Amino acid sequence: METTSTVLLTGVEIKRRMRARGITLDALAQAAGLTQPDVSDALNGRAIFGPKRAGKLEAGILRLGIDKEHAHEPEPLPPGVFRIRRV
> Which residue numbers in the chain have pLDDT < 70?
1-2, 71-75
Residue 39: phi and psi, rounded to 5, are -65, -45
Output the domain CATH number for residue 28: 1.10.260.40
Work out how many domains the chain is built from and give that number.
1
DSSP H helix total and E strand total for the chain: 4, 0
Residue 69 lies in a domain: no
The reported pTM is: 0.76
| Residues of the domain holding 51 | 11-63
Q: Tell me which residue of 54, 52, 64, 49 sits closest to 15, measured CA to CA.
A: 64
pLDDT of residue 14: 94
DSSP secondary structure letter of residue 35: -
Judged on CB neighbours under 10 Å (0-12, 13-18, 19+), 39 is buried
